[in-house]
Structures are given as C-alpha cells and as structure tokens.
Amino acid sequence: MVVTHRDIGKMVVLKGKTRHGKNRVQQHGMEWFIEKVANFQGQPAMFLRSKNETFKLGDKMTHDTRWVVLRDDPNFIYFW
C-alpha cells in the first residue's frame, strides 16, 4: 500500500507485531488518523493520531501520537 500526502486525514488500522506494538494498540485503540507523511529517522513514515483521547497529560486526556514507518515498521502492521 502506498501512502502519500493525499492520504492525510484518512484513517488507518494498526495491528501490533511486537509486545510494544500490541500494548500501544490495547492502550490507544486500533483506529488512527494520518496527520502527516514525511521522513522519520531517514525513512518514509506517517505521523498518526489516535482516534480517541486515550493519553493522560496532567489532568487532561488527549490523543496519542506516533510515527509509523511505511515499510517494515518494527512494531506495527497497518491497513485501511
């Protein structure tokens, strides 16, 4: 699957590959929105925001965010 700047705002589904990835999906959900497509640590990646506010920052709940590498991410598989 090719992800481009045209996909910003679309939803992707994450599935954890590793213990870390599975824990993040359990904590923040499977559905994520594409916020940005750019390079992360020299690799093409997408910056994602969780669908729901699942991260506690002080006394306020907010969305979790993370980078997912487009090819062979170590922690996640993604699909539409």
Q: pLDDT for 17-53, tens place per residue?
A: 999 999 999 999 999 999 999 999 999 999 999 999 9
pLDDT in tens, 50-64: 999 998 999 999 999
User: Would the pTM of this model clear 0.75, i.e. be above it?
Assistant: yes
| Distance separating alpha carbons of residues 21 and 25, to the nearest angstrom | 6
